[in-house]
Structure 1
Amino acid sequence: MKRKRVLIISHIFPPVGGSGVQRTLKFVKYLREFGWEPVVLTVGKTGYPLQDYSLLKEIPKDIKVIRVDEPSELSLSNLKENLTLLDGIVDDKIKLKKYFNLIKENKNQIRDLILPDYYLFWANNVLEHISTVLDSGSVEMIYSTSGPFSDHIIGYYLKMRWCKPWIMDLRDEWSNNPYNISDKKDNIFYQITVLIEERLLRTADKVLTTTPVTRQNYIDFFRLPEEKVHIITNGYDEEDFNSLNSNLTHNERFTVVHNGLFYLIRTPVTFLQAVHRLISKGLLEKEKIKLVFSWSENDKSWIEVAHKLELKDILETVGYLEHKESLEMANRADALLLIVGPGRKNKAVYPAKLFEYLRLRKPIIALSPNGGVVDNLIRDLECGINCDFDDTEAIEKYLYELYLQWSSSNIRVSTPLEEIKVYERKCLTKKLANVLDILAKEYQEENLSKTFLRFKIEELVEVNNISEAKKLINEYTRKYGFDAEIFSILGIISLSVKKIQEAENYFLMGINEDKNNPHINFNLGYLYELKGNVEKSLQHYQNVLKFSEDVEMNSEVESAIRLLTEIIKP
């Protein structure tokens, strides 16, 4: 059975590395098993700091991957062109002008001030060049994933251009993100962000989130229909664990591993303070504990904190590791540290690495808000303890319990593997395929209704009942907007009352929507024949033969071409 094709828009895709790459990579890896053929649109040359070339091996060899480079340099000359993308999304022109003025006044800070993020420049590059590598007929569906949020700018404009169903996948919340430092209601950057987000959410056909709290936040704040918003969590890929050693010996030192990034409010400070206090009280022997942190942009700052707390000798920072190496490191740990961060908003956050931690089946020390999604999951699966980020006493208590278990070689997690398998990447990809299938069916049914309504309009025009036809055109455009076929019908109505210039304008708007549409090309061919512009008439008639499968229309066009050719013969 022929697979349906979905365009996957994802800047973060191999060889770009980091935790955010896993979700998209695994969807691409497994979608074929559920009847969908992914076509990937991603970045080529990029300044993104994390690279993991080992992940390229997981992309099925014959998957089509389209790569568009980031602009080589950012100049003020192309800033206006990029900001035009926002002008086509944000309706509040007063606020938008205020934001644009702030950009102009702070030209040296464009990288930090551009919305939704710096990758808007890449998005603009994609939209400029996409027609040279892909056309609307190449895919049945559009899917975009963030971050960066500019991926959704591409998804929005392609949906508008191609009239295709679009799924908007939010790996993290956007304006409500707990790491958003500009979330005050009177902040113009926050206001513009919300306006962009709201327009895109309302335009998207389906919205994906990763946690139940995030889903409810989107439904409540943006008043989205419940059936529009779906949950697909992050997860783990069983194949990644097949080669890991399951018979590890007892570590000589109690080893706690944090396998991920620290940034903004997600820091190891309170955990390091708890370790320091246990050592100071004599409850934990310094020579018998080891802390391992993977790569972070600000490694030096955590080393400095460890130094002040007299923990520098027990802290090892290993730098950025390829995905397989990072799993091997975590697999050798006695306990795994999961830091989400403080604050109410973090109640909605599942860090991507949580599910790989679950599959490793080692005790998890989680630092996230009590009552949040991480706390609930860890309690349900009995795979560790969650402590509020700032509760150093609770962190101390559980860390000491684990240390005693390690000392007696009795450190383990008893969660049955069956309870974890719901987070396996293949199962999650099946959920995505189900959403794709549902949307494809809804879109097909809508297209049938749309086609039927358009057929009724065409019938009314044929019998010259223009007033009733216009009423149905108004109904059609309220539901579906203006498309190539409606512009064509409006042009025919104008032709019927001898408004030639008005008819030409409508036909040209239709061609702008769909240059390959044989009916509009036919109408333009006829119109230019009436106007005596033989060259343009022939051009559009030739397009009809190129794109039409209508034998009767093609026969009529061939006759017209012969007559016109005779006219222009010397």
Structure 2
Amino acid sequence: MPKKVLIISYYWPPAGGPGVQRWLKFVKYLPDFNVEPIVYIPENPNYPLLDESLLEEVSKDVTIIKQPINEPYKLAGLFSKKSSKAISKGIIPEQKKQSLTEKLLLFVRGNFFIPDARKGWVKPSVNFLSEYISKEHIETIITTGPPHSMHLIGLHLKTKLGVKWLADFRDPWTTIGYHKQLKLTSSSAKKHKALEKEVLNSADEIIVTSFTTKSEFEAITNKPVHVITNGYDYEPLEEFTMDSKFSLAHIGSLLSKRNPEVLWRVLRDLRNESDGFAKDFQLNLIGAVSEDVLRSMNRYGLDNCIKNIGYVSHQKAIKHQKQSQLLLLIEIDSDETKCIIPGKLFEYMVSNRPIIALGPKDSDVEAIIKETNTGNYFYYNSYSSLKSVILEHYKAFKNNELQVHAIGLQKYSRKALTKSLSNLI
């Protein structure tokens, strides 16, 4: 008889974005390992991105239970719909460019909604789930964050019912990049730290997506910390034609600080130095892009080679990945982002296109790209090497020889990763 496990998540289809993919795929494959997933989600969430196509991937056999949630972002939208939606996506302008409204919203978000704006869902969820868990004889629960208020639901259920609790951190809590931008008072910062420590020391097992986060958490707790990265799934292959241009595609959000001016400078110089490159090159942006980043690109004269497509469904994003000549991955250049492994990296790796990645030194992304031979990783000061590699790729493109020779990808398949999860359950 399959073992029942209750998964508590804020994000679920039709929500879009990478945060949805992780548990959508785990739920898809858990029954193959004799685990019956039951998914608990909000009934009326305020998702910043929608992708209706993901609903098709939810099995009709999966039990999904819902409860209403009160969302403060809806109220914030009365003051500034644009600012509240951008902040909910994690797109935070540079401090010197923030409006008074944006500063106020960030202060309120960081200090009045601890750990996050979904904290109001904790108490009603605990009340509802306590009865449901007892009635359905569920022995194991999993919470996934962010939002990290989901872990507070797990904390209370663990204390009240003594169930086995696995806390899954798709991103860190207090060390994630945007945490410093929330204008926290010293008291609020201490509350965040205290809640993080309590969760880490109360859960039976901790799951993280990177080895850097594992090291960080092991300094806070003696509880077992397991790395289960994000991964790739076997997507049905639509017919597509490779871009005729020498295209460099970025899939996903480009936040204000994901702005490697060294890359824009390299592209400007290559276009200035070669009429052929200037004619052939195209920069495809698929996803939300910060105005700060667009202005930076324009300062380097790239505006006439940019194709700004905007947010698309996951299926269309996969198609863009496969038909682009090169794939671009950018992370903020800071110590806090060394642990961030974007979910799109794994889909990039199986797109059979070379990856150009930029980020901080000694990051987990750098290690994975080197391990799998799927591209090149550069730092924000790597002008010469970055220019040289892009030029090499361009020559290979002109000779119809642009390809990648990936190795060791199987362990990052969603099914292989779900097997590791089932062993913990």
Provide TM-score, normalisation by structure 2.
0.86
Secondary structure of residue in 2 paired with 1:370 = coil
- Kindly state the Cα deviation for residue 46 of structure 1 after the two structures are TM-superposed: 1.8
Q: Are residues 1:214 and 2:205 paired?
A: no
Which of 328, 333, 336 lines up with 2:319 in the alignment? 328
| Structure 1 residue identity aligned to 2:416 | C
**Greater helix percent: which structure?**
1
- Kindly state the Cα deviation for residue 213 of structure 1 after the two structures are TM-superposed: 2.0
Distance 1:124 1:269 in 2: 46
| Structure 1 residue identity aligned to 2:233 | D
Which of 226, 231, 241 lines up with 2:227 in the alignment? 231
The Cα offsets for residues 287-307 of structure 1, whole Å up to 9 and x where unpaired, read as 211111112163x44333333
Q: In the TM superposition, what are the counterparts of 1:71-90 in structure 2 within 5 Å? A: 71=70
Structure 2 alignment gaps of length 5 or more: 76-103
Q: Paired residue for 1:295? A: 287
- Contact (CA 8 Å) 1:261, 1:296: kept in 2 or not? yes
| Structure 1 residue identity aligned to 2:249 | V
- Contact (CA 8 Å) 2:260, 2:380: kept in 1 or not? no
- Kindly state the Cα deviation for residue 160 of structure 1 after the two structures are TM-superposed: 1.4
Q: Paired residue for 1:399? A: 390
Higher relative contact order (CA closer than 8 Å, sequence separation 6+): 2
| Structure 2 residue identity aligned to 1:34 | F
Count of residues in Structure 1 that have an aligned counterpart in Structure 2: 396
The Cα offsets for residues 129-185 of structure 1, whole Å up to 9 and x where unpaired, read as 445755464412010111111111111111112210100011111112233315999
Q: Are residues 1:340 and 2:331 paired?
A: yes
- Contact (CA 8 Å) 1:179, 1:264: kept in 2 or not? no
Distance 1:136 1:196 in 2: 29
Distance 2:163 2:189 in 1: 29
- Contact (CA 8 Å) 2:354, 2:375: kept in 1 or not? yes
The Cα offsets for residues 392-426 of structure 1, whole Å up to 9 and x where unpaired, read as 3332222222111111111000124xx11110001
Distance 2:289 2:46 in 1: 15
Distance 1:395 1:284 in 2: 19
Q: Paired residue for 1:255? A: 247
- Kindly state the Cα deviation for residue 27 of structure 1 after the two structures are TM-superposed: 0.5
**Greater strand percent: which structure?**
2
Q: In the TM superposition, what are the counterparts of 1:180-219 in structure 2 within 5 Å? A: 180-181=179-180, 187-219=186-218
Secondary structure of residue in 2 paired with 1:67 = strand
- Kindly state the Cα deviation for residue 107 of structure 1 after the two structures are TM-superposed: 9.7
Secondary structure of residue in 1 paired with 2:144 = strand
- Kindly state the Cα deviation for residue 266 of structure 1 after the two structures are TM-superposed: 2.4
Gap change, CA 1:74 and 1:352, over 3 Å in 2: closer
- Kindly state the Cα deviation for residue 243 of structure 1 after the two structures are TM-superposed: 1.9
The Cα offsets for residues 436-455 of structure 1, whole Å up to 9 and x where unpaired, read as 1xxxxxxxxxxxxxxxxxxx
| Structure 2 residue identity aligned to 1:310 | G
Distance 1:400 1:218 in 2: 41
- Contact (CA 8 Å) 1:206, 1:229: kept in 2 or not? yes
Which runs of 4 or more aligned residues in structure 1 lie more than 6 Å from their structure 2 counterparts after TM superposition? 183-186
Secondary structure of residue in 1 paired with 2:39 = strand
Which of 282, 290, 293 lines up with 2:274 in the alignment? 282
- Contact (CA 8 Å) 1:136, 1:162: kept in 2 or not? no
Q: Are residues 1:383 and 2:374 paired?
A: yes
- Kindly state the Cα deviation for residue 328 of structure 1 after the two structures are TM-superposed: 0.5
Distance 2:182 2:296 in 1: 29
- Contact (CA 8 Å) 1:236, 1:355: kept in 2 or not? yes
Q: Are residues 1:243 and 2:237 paired?
A: yes
- After superposition, the CA RMSD in angstroms is 2.5
Q: Paired residue for 1:352? A: 343
- Contact (CA 8 Å) 1:270, 1:390: kept in 2 or not? yes
Gap change, CA 1:393 and 1:117, over 3 Å in 2: farther
Q: In the TM superposition, what are the counterparts of 1:424-435 in structure 2 within 5 Å? A: 424-435=413-424
Distance 1:110 1:395 in 2: 41
Q: Which has the larger radius of gyration?
A: 1
Distance 1:107 1:307 in 2: 29
Distance 1:74 1:211 in 2: 30
Distance 2:304 2:250 in 1: 17
The Cα offsets for residues 360-394 of structure 1, whole Å up to 9 and x where unpaired, read as 12100011223222112212222211001343333
- Contact (CA 8 Å) 2:255, 2:293: kept in 1 or not? no
Q: Paired residue for 1:69? A: 68
- Contact (CA 8 Å) 1:184, 1:190: kept in 2 or not? no
Which of 315, 319, 322 lines up with 2:306 in the alignment? 315
- Kindly state the Cα deviation for residue 261 of structure 1 after the two structures are TM-superposed: 1.0
- Kindly state the Cα deviation for residue 249 of structure 1 after the two structures are TM-superposed: 5.3
> Percent of aligned pairs with the same residue?
29
Gap change, CA 1:139 and 1:213, over 3 Å in 2: same
Q: Paired residue for 1:111? A: 109
Distance 1:290 1:107 in 2: 37
- Contact (CA 8 Å) 2:53, 2:313: kept in 1 or not? yes
Provide TM-score, normalisation by structure 1.
0.65
Gap change, CA 1:64 and 1:398, over 3 Å in 2: same
Gap change, CA 1:249 and 1:297, over 3 Å in 2: closer
- Contact (CA 8 Å) 1:11, 1:42: kept in 2 or not? yes
Secondary structure of residue in 2 paired with 1:30 = helix
